[in-house]
């Protein structure tokens, strides 16, 4: 009998609970354990998910526990912390998110966890850097979902504007999971055709290709969801499950995630979203594409903003000692 696939979820709020449901629904976990500072919340979410299991085709063991239960987990999804309000940038939640963590990450490591940390908590790029440093884990085993969700939103927008199914669109955002993210248009294609060519051939039916409008809509798509329902949960939970699948099945798929950069694209010491090969060892390779000079500057500018907040975390931690 093979080893059971256990996924730990730190934080049983809107995002964490929906990650659990998505994993169970898609059959990507044999065991799911919720851990939250509010134990009653974790217990309630675990019980609610157990009630759903009789209707699912997969057997899953679900419970609420402590960080000790993360010991045998393959992956711990870090989803603790507040959701940004519609009037906040994701970076504005940094202080509250760090408060929510406390000593949790070192405690997870002391409990014996030796798997992969997948970070969702916002600001995702900065928190991934914090978790990597707090855990002492190698860079391939700590990264965030980054622009995985932003990239899905970009594909949705392009599908709407072109009439082509999202599965035939190759596109992604890079940089910050936030307002400074950029789109490397030189790498975007519909089928095998560069997007500029695609629009030129259909100018009479599709009109002009407005890259700035699409970038703006992609950057702030999450806030449309927040304004409408108060939280984002379906998209991000499925983005996380997609990454978990790539890890557990050693798929070697190229996905936009936020790992530590050490010289790639001229950037070092920053977690930022880039296309990367995802397999059983986590981030197995960072894919370096040939960006235009303008695109490279936009990406590096986004990384500079992330770096400022990474430095702020160091100051906050020092100030608390």
Q: What share of residues in the chain are helix, strand, coil (percent, to 5)?
A: 50, 20, 30
DSSP assignment of 197-226, as one string?
HHHHHTHHHH----HHHHHHHHHTHHHHHH
Residue 281 to residue 147: CA distance in whole angstroms: 20
- The pair of three-digit structure tokens given for residue 49, joined into one six-digit string: 């998910």
Angle at the Cα of 163 from the Cα atoms of 194 and 273, rounded to 5 degrees: 55
Q: In what order do the strands lie in the sheet with 31-35?
A: 61-64, 31-35, 6-10, 75-78, 116-119, 142-144
Report the DSSP pairing between strands 260-262 and 268-271: antiparallel
The torsion angles phi and psi of 87, rounded to 5 degrees, stand at -95, 5
Query: Catalytic site residue 18?
Result: no
DSSP 8-state code for residue 4: P
The torsion angles phi and psi of 232, rounded to 5 degrees, stand at -105, 135
**CB neighbours of 200 closer than 8 A, spacing ≥ 6?**
209
Token pair 């990454």: residue: 243
Q: In what order do the strands lie in the sheet with 282-286?
A: 253-257, 274-279, 282-286
- The pair of three-digit structure tokens given for residue 243, joined into one six-digit string: 């990454």
DSSP assignment of 45-99, as one string?
HHHHHHHHGGGSSS--EEEE--GGGGTT-SEEEE--SPPPPTTS-GGGGHHHHHH
Catalytic hit among 18, 58, 177, 249: 177
As annotated, the active-site residues are 177
């Amino acid at each position: 009998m093979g080893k059971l696939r256990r996924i730990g979820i730190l934080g049983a709020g809107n995002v964490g609970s929906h990650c659990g449901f998505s994993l169970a629904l898609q059959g990507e976990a044999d065991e799911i354990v919720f851990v939250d500072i509010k134990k009653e919340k974790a217990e309630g979410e675990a019980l609610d998910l157990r009630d759903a299991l009789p209707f699912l085709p997969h057997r899953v063991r679900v419970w609420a526990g402590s960080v000790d239960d993360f010991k045998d987990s393959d992956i711990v999804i870090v989803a603790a912390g507040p959701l940004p309000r519609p009037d906040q940038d994701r970076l504005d939640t940094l202080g509250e998110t760090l408060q929510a963590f406390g000593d949790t990450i070192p405690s997870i490591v002391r409990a014996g966890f030796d798997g992969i940390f997948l970070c969702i908590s916002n600001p995702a790029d900065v928190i991934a850097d914090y978790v990597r440093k707090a855990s002492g884990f190698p860079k391939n085993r700590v990264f965030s979902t980054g622009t995985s969700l932003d990239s899905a939103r970009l594909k949705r927008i392009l599908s709407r504007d072109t009439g082509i199914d999202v599965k035939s669109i190759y596109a992604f955002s890079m940089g910050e999971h936030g307002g400074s993210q950029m789109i490397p248009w030189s790498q975007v294609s519909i089928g095998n055709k560069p997007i500029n060519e695609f629009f030129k051939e259909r100018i009479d039916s599709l009109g002009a290709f407005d890259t700035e409008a699409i970038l703006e809509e992609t950057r702030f798509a999450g806030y449309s969801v927040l304004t409408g329902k108060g939280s984002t949960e379906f998209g991000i939970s499925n983005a996380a499950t997609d990454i978990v699948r790539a890890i557990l099945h050693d798929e070697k798929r190229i996905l936009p995630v936020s790992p530590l950069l050490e010289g790639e694209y001229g950037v070092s010491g920053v977690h930022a979203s880039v296309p990367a090969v995802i397999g059983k060892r986590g981030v197995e390779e960072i894919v370096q594409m040939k960006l235009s000079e303008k695109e490279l500057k936009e990406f590096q500018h986004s990384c500079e903003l992330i770096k400022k907040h990474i430095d702020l975390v160091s100051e906050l931690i020092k100030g608390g000692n």
